[in-house]
Amino acid sequence: MNWKLLLGIFACILILASASPHYRRARHRGRQPPRRCAGCIRGPRRLSDSIAIVGAGPAGVHMAYLLKKKGFTDITLLEKNSRSGGKSLTINYRGAPQDMGTVYLSPDYEENIIKLMKKYTGDNLAHLPPASIRLGDLKLSIPYKQYVIVESMRNFNTTNTTIAGMKLVHAMKSYIGLHARLFGNYTGELMPRPSRSVMHRIRGTFMDFLKRENLASLQPIFLASHTMQGYGHLDEISALYGLMWNTPKLMVGLLKRLQGATNTGLYMLKHGFQPLWEAIIDQENLRVHYDVDIRLLYRNRRGSWLCTRDERECHFFRFVIWTPELKLSFRKFRPARSDERDIFSRTQVHYYSTSLVDSLNVKRGLTAIDYMFGNVLSKREHSVWAQRDSYAALRGYAGPAYQNGTYPSGNDRKKTRTVVGYQYGKRKPRVGQLRRIMKATLSEMHGTSIRIRKVEPWRYFPRFSPADMNAGILWDILEMQGRHGMWYAGSSVIFESVKSVVEYNELLVRKMRPPCG
């Protein structure tokens, strides 16, 4: 044997020995080994792998659409209800889509939800009319802009409206600049994990942060853009959530709106939100099994068995994506891992309930979007925070003619006013309690013949404490993705908005280890 041959054999032995067991296993099965990449998330390994997505809400439907676009061929959505859309629930009533859940879009929706909407349902954007505000006296309604100016005069200790306005604009611009300095320019809902010094600077509640940064004068802005949307009182919610939602782009839109612009990127949908998810399912031909309530998930290294009632009704999938609220779910996982238990048990949910209500003679607000800041500020459990007359809002009806009832609230020539009313509380409400409070509130506003057609007491925005957020729990969850053979998606791992869950899906798919063909 000559020395060249010997050297060749030796080199081969070296190469084989250094190949990872993972690689050798894959080769042994005659497959292409999955490619490795630094910082990637483990996901489905092959395009033909069977994938189950639990929940056909916005996160589930969008994830199925994204994975299909990536070339995955065997995707099944499992939904416990008999409809898709989750918290996007649209009831068509009196000639208007009455959105009982998802309803508004902000400038941050341009690159995600608005693109989807244009592709699947055509352009059905309607500009959001300005809000009117009621404080202590529920019969008195003032424009939101007036409320902001009065509060700014108080905050800046001046009687001059121009000076108050200028100082407010300055504070909004400072916030925008500070946000950019803290987090830079980033794509999607979740910014890259900030440095320790940034985390220290944004510690505590949103109000703590605003006070430290001399920006507490922005409270009237965030009351509408944050608290009113159910995202927490400023003195309770983590500063990081505040900064995630109130992006520079949103602030620029709000600033333009205060300065009188009408086209500021704030919208509603003319046909409501639920039809968007239904259109994606339809046009993408997505496979959805309805009335399938997943009660148990057994997993091992090969994949997971999803069971509806007990071990006798189980189906095997190579990969699972779980979108329902994780605090209610992780106990269904067998085995439940300690990191899952530790993280997902920590969220706290509040309740944002909506009711579809008819009434006569009620004292209308100045516009069809009617915020009751008095109730928000008092933090009274399940008090009415807002009402939206969808028929009027979509048509831009406002002003004295709207207030005195000249403009209708439906397409049937009746004098009845129909609204979606919002009630907020920390403890789980009883439906009877919600109805009682709603009726009492409308009676106080001179309403008669009050009929509550439907009540939805939603579990809303599973949130981590300021301390957990400050410890970087959202990035810890991101690092856990794929570790136990599944992904966690949906609002309980990021934030309660359709834009947030869709952007989180995009992040997962962007970071996914490339699958094999």
Which one, 104 or 475, has the nearer CB to ligand FAD? 104
Q: How far is CA 428 from CA 247, 329, 355, in A?
A: 31, 18, 16
* Residues whose CB is less than 8 angstroms from the CB of residue 490 and which lie 6 or more positions away in sequence, other chains included: 55, 57, 59, 60, 322, 323, 324, 325, 326, 501
Separation between Cα atoms, residue 445 and residue 452, nearest integer Å: 16
Separation between Cα atoms, residue 330 and residue 334, nearest integer Å: 9
Q: Which of 97, 107, 490, 515 binds ligand FAD (CB under 6 A)?
A: 490
Q: How far is the CB of 325 from ligand FAD (least distance, A)?
A: 7
Structure tokens at 395: 């048509």
Q: How far is the CB of 277 from ligand FAD (least distance, A)?
A: 9
Stretch touching ligand FAD by CB under 6 A, among 30-38, 51-59, 250-258, 365-373:
51-59
Q: How far is the CB of 501 from ligand FAD (least distance, A)?
A: 5
Stretch touching ligand FAD by CB under 6 A, among 41-49, 73-81, 244-252, 398-406:
73-81
Which one, 172 or 455, has the nearer CB to ligand FAD? 455
For residue 475, report the phi and psi dihedrals to the nearest 5 degrees: -80, -30
Q: Which of 41, 51, 52, 56 binds ligand FAD (CB under 6 A)?
A: 56
* Residues whose CB is less than 8 angstroms from the CB of residue 237 and which lie 6 or more positions away in sequence, other chains included: 205, 206, 226, 231, 463, 466
Q: Which of 26, 40, 47, 81 binds ligand FAD (CB under 6 A)?
A: 81
Contact between 232 and ligand FAD by CB under 6 A: the answer reads: no
Q: Which of 44, 86, 253, 365 binds ligand FAD (CB under 6 A)?
A: 86
Which one, 167 or 499, has the nearer CB to ligand FAD? 499
Q: Which amino acid is at 357?
A: V
- 454 burial (CB, 10 Å; 0-12 / 13-18 / 19+) is middle
Which one, 81 or 124, has the nearer CB to ligand FAD? 81
Contact between 501 and ligand FAD by CB under 6 A: the answer reads: yes
Contact between 347 and ligand FAD by CB under 6 A: the answer reads: no
Separation between Cα atoms, residue 505 and residue 478, nearest integer Å: 11
Which one, 109 or 391, has the nearer CB to ligand FAD? 109
Stretch touching ligand FAD by CB under 6 A, among 115-123, 132-140, 161-169, 490-498:
490-498
Site for ligand FAD in 268-307 (CB under 6 A): 292-294
Q: How far is the CB of 489 from ligand FAD (least distance, A)?
A: 7
Separation between Cα atoms, residue 72 and residue 317, nearest integer Å: 13
Residues 353-382, one symbol each (x = binds ligand FAD by CB under 6 A, - = not), give -x----------------------------
Contact between 497 and ligand FAD by CB under 6 A: the answer reads: yes
The radius of gyration of the chain from alpha carbons, rounded to an integer in Å, stands at 26
Separation between Cα atoms, residue 35 and residue 367, nearest integer Å: 57
Site for ligand FAD in 452-471 (CB under 6 A): 458, 460
Separation between Cα atoms, residue 345 and residue 18, nearest integer Å: 42
Output the CA torsion sign for 131, 133, 138, 141. negative
Contact between 253 and ligand FAD by CB under 6 A: the answer reads: no
Separation between Cα atoms, residue 104 and residue 497, nearest integer Å: 10
Q: How far is the CB of 137 from ligand FAD (least distance, A)?
A: 26
Q: Are 65 and 286 in contact (CB under 8 A)?
A: yes
Q: Are 125 and 114 in contact (CB under 8 A)?
A: yes
Stretch touching ligand FAD by CB under 6 A, among 76-84, 135-143, 363-371, 434-442:
76-84
Contact between 129 and ligand FAD by CB under 6 A: the answer reads: no
For residue 332, report the phi and psi dihedrals to the nearest 5 degrees: -80, -10
Q: Which of 72, 206, 352, 371 binds ligand FAD (CB under 6 A)?
A: 352
Q: Which of 43, 194, 324, 421 binds ligand FAD (CB under 6 A)?
A: 324
Cα angle: 174, vertex 175, 177; to 5 degrees: 65
Secondary structure class of 427 (helix, strand, coil): coil
Element (H, E) at 75: strand 74-78
Contact between 102 and ligand FAD by CB under 6 A: the answer reads: yes
Q: Which residues bind ligand FAD (CB under 6 A)?
A: 54-60, 78-81, 86-88, 101-104, 292-294, 323-324, 352, 354, 458, 460, 490-491, 496-499, 501
